Amino acid sequence: MGLQKKKTKKRNDADELISLARQHLEESLTGYEKNASAWAVELQKMSPQQQLFAKKAINDILFESQIGTLHRHIVQINSSRASTPYNSMQPSPIYYDSRHD
């Protein structure tokens, strides 16, 4: 391939990439995509443990919705449900032996 053809091909490839980038930027995001982006930013601000809790809560809500059981009062934040691993994990009692003072 001649030098001129290589330059033309590179220019055409670059023009195509620029065109694709422009098209992508001009496409507007849906409301769902905007929400997902905002949630991603908020998740990144959290500690790893808080991210896990938040992701679990979001996935639980999506699951309930998919099976048709999601309703207004199903979401409970900071409730004292004994079934959650976080609430059921209690520290071990400290054993104090008065014989070894």
Instruction: List pLDDT tens digits, range 62-99.
Output: 999 999 999 988 888 887 655 545 444 444 445 444 45
pLDDT at 2: 65
pTM flag (> 0.75): no
Taking the mean position of all CA atoms in its chain, how far away is CA 53? 11
CA angle 90, 93, 94 (to 5 degrees): 140
- Which whole-number Å values give the CA distances from 70 to 14, 15, 26, 83, in the listed order? 49, 48, 35, 19
pLDDT at 40: 95
pLDDT at 92: 45
Average pLDDT of the residues in 33-37: 90
